[in-house]
């Protein structure tokens, strides 16, 4: 018996047919019903929080409140849908709009335009409250709140440190460095100075120079994750008063709102993400075939890196991964693709230690994975040279990729795991 599976590739679907006896797992996210009434769900979360009294007992009349909100690069969070109910709850607790500031968590991303503030937060929010942008390179806008046990000096935006109450908002997803996004990441990198971001993110590199990336800074891992633990120390220095984070369905709608203590409520959200997107597997496969899910998730190799990282968690040591990544904009963004001009992984690592960037780290990690397993990329013909330079094997079709994989494995008797939406789903192996 054969199993047919459709895999996204750009705007197309590619059909994969495999004998059922070869297939170990087909990894898909778990179904969850989307929130039907968003304002009601937000209010319920704010009035029945995790680990704190309700929001209306946390704030009091006269407080200056800063709400930290994700920037336009996290548009999927849909700030415009949950911020108005949050503002209404603050108003009802005696905090007028004039005492509320929205702090845009740019990290080191560029400033928003006024139009982007509207598209990200909605016209109502822009009209109601003051908005300040925290840009990591504006050194005068930050003040030191402490130094972590790992020696990172924590500089946080004054619009946050000088508020009476700080509320974190954002979305929780798997994060390939910090374990999970959301929560404390609103503070750093969100509203922290560039030197602090650099110091924290560099903890993702191995403690020993020449060993590349840290094996502890991976998706789904919190305990022993140096970057995450450092993030938590810095967030504790700020001591946010409250948190409101979102968890999504596989279709990108709201699955759940978590609210309350900045750590306890966030951890509950992480557990929800694990239940939806963390898929248990009983064994690792000789061959993993993964699709990002089509456009725009496979618009370039930078976006496709999430697929590489997740597929790697399902493959045996020395195995093969086939990736369906159209990559119509293969060299975008330049601050990622340029790192592959440094062919030596050791030199790439040294350059990162001098000036850490997330795109550079992902380029190093992709190169490291390509050294450990064979990465075969089904992509557009014009991408052949770039894919080869990245240490991967280009293929013009799925059939060609499978033929190469069988040659690499040296047999036609091998196990397969298929990941139709590998950009979002994380294999969880309890081995």
Q: 18 and 66, same structural domain?
A: no
Q: 355 and 254, same structural domain?
A: no
Tell me what pLDDT residue 40 has.
98
Taking Cα atoms as reference points, which of 373, 361, 213 lies closest to residue 290? Answer: 373
Tell me what pLDDT residue 213 has.
96
Host domain of residue 216: 38-276
Instruction: Give the Cα separation of 214 and 224 in Å (integer).
Output: 11
Instruction: Give the Cα separation of 362 and 112 in Å (integer).
Output: 25
Helix (H/G/I), strand (E/B), else coil: 149: coil
Enter the tokens of residue 47: 């009035």
Longest pairwise C-alpha distance within the chain? 72
Q: 390 and 286, same structural domain?
A: yes
> Among 25, 175, 201, 421, which one carries the catalytic annotation?
175
Instruction: Give the Cα separation of 247 and 424 in Å (integer).
Output: 13
- C-alpha to C-alpha distances, 388 to 278, 375, 385, 405, nearest whole angstrom: 31, 10, 5, 16
Tell me what pLDDT residue 76 has.
87
Instruction: Please provide the size of the chain in residues.
Output: 431
Q: What is the dihedral of CA 83, 124, 72, 140, to 10 degrees?
A: -90
Given 222, 247, 276, which residue is the final one in a domain?
A: 276
Please confirm, yes or no, whether 228 is among the known catalytic residues.
no
Helix (H/G/I), strand (E/B), else coil: 364: helix
Given 276, 311, 341, which residue is the final one in a domain?
A: 276
Please confirm, yes or no, whether 25 is among the known catalytic residues.
no
Q: Which residue has tokens 């557990």?
A: 271
Instruction: Give the Cα separation of 227 and 181 in Å (integer).
Output: 12
Q: 424 and 342, same structural domain?
A: yes
Instruction: Give the Cα separation of 431 and 429 in Å (integer).
Output: 6
- The predicted model scores a pTM of 0.91
H or E element that contains 146? strand 142-147
Counting the structural domains of the chain, the total is 2
* pLDDT string in tens for the chain (431-residue length): 889 999 999 999 999 999 999 999 999 988 999 999 999 999 999 999 999 999 999 999 999 999 999 999 888 899 999 999 999 999 999 999 999 999 999 998 899 999 999 999 999 999 999 999 999 999 999 999 999 999 999 999 999 999 999 999 999 999 999 999 999 999 999 999 999 999 999 999 999 999 999 999 999 999 999 999 999 999 999 999 999 999 999 888 999 999 999 999 999 999 999 999 999 999 999 999 999 999 988 999 999 999 999 999 999 999 999 999 999 999 898 989 999 999 999 999 999 999 998 899 999 999 999 999 999 999 999 999 999 999 999 999 999 999 999 999 999 999 999 999 999 899 998 76
Given 241, 276, 311, which residue is the final one in a domain?
A: 276
> Among 109, 130, 206, 261, which one carries the catalytic annotation?
109
CB contact set of 83 (below 8 Å; sequence gap of 6+):
67, 69, 102, 121, 122, 125, 169
Tell me what pLDDT residue 431 has.
67
């Amino acid at each position: 018996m054969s199993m047919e599976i459709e895999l996204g590739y750009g705007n197309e679907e590619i059909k994969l047919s495999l004998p059922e006896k070869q297939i170990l797992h087909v990894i898909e996210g778990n179904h969850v019903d989307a929130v039907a009434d968003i304002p009601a769900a937000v209010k319920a979360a704010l009035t029945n929080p995790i680990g704190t009294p309700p929001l209306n007992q946390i704030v009091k009349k006269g407080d200056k409140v800063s709400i930290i909100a994700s920037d336009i690069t996290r548009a999927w969070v849909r700030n415009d849908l949950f911020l108005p109910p949050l503002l209404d709850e603050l108003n009802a607790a005696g905090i007028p709009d004039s005492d509320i500031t929205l702090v845009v968590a740019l990290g080191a991303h560029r400033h928003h335009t006024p139009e982007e503030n509207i598209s990200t937060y909605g016209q109502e929010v822009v009209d109601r409250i003051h908005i300040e942008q925290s840009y990591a390179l504006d050194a005068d806008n930050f003040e030191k709140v402490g130094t972590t046990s790992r020696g990172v000096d924590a500089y946080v935006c004054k619009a946050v440190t000088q508020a009476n109450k700080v509320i974190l908002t954002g979305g929780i997803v798997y994060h390939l460095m910090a374990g999970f996004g959301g929560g404390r990441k609103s503070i750093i990198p969100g509203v922290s100075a560039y030197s602090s971001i650099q110091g924290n993110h560099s903890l993702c590199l191995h403690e020993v120079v020449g060993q590349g990336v840290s094996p502890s800074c991976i998706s789904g891992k919190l305990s022993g994750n140096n970057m995450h633990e450092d993030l938590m120390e810095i967030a504790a220095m700020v001591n946010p008063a409250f948190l409101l984070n979102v968890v999504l369905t596989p279709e990108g709608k709201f699955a759940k709102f978590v609210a309350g203590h900045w750590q306890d409520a966030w951890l509950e959200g992480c557990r929800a993400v694990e239940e939806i997107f963390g898929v248990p597997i009983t064994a690792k496969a000789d061959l993993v075939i993964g699709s990002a899910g089509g456009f725009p998730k496979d618009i370039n190799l930078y976006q496709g890196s999430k697929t590489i990282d997740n597929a790697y968690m399902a493959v045996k040591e020395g195995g093969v991964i086939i990736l369906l990544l159209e990559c119509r904009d293969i060299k975008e963004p330049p601050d990622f693709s340029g790192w592959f001009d440094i062919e030596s992984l050791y030199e790439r690592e040294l350059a990162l230690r001098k000036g850490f960037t997330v795109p550079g780290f992902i380029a190093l990690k992709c190169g490291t994975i390509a050294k450990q397993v064979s990465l075969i990329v089904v992509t557009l013909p014009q991408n052949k040279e770039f894919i080869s330079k990245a240490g991967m094997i280009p293929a013009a079709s799925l059939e060609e990729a499978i033929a190469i994989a069988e040659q690499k494995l040296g047999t036609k008797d091998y196990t397969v795991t298929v990941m139709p939406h590998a950009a979002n789903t994380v294999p969880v192996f309890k081995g």
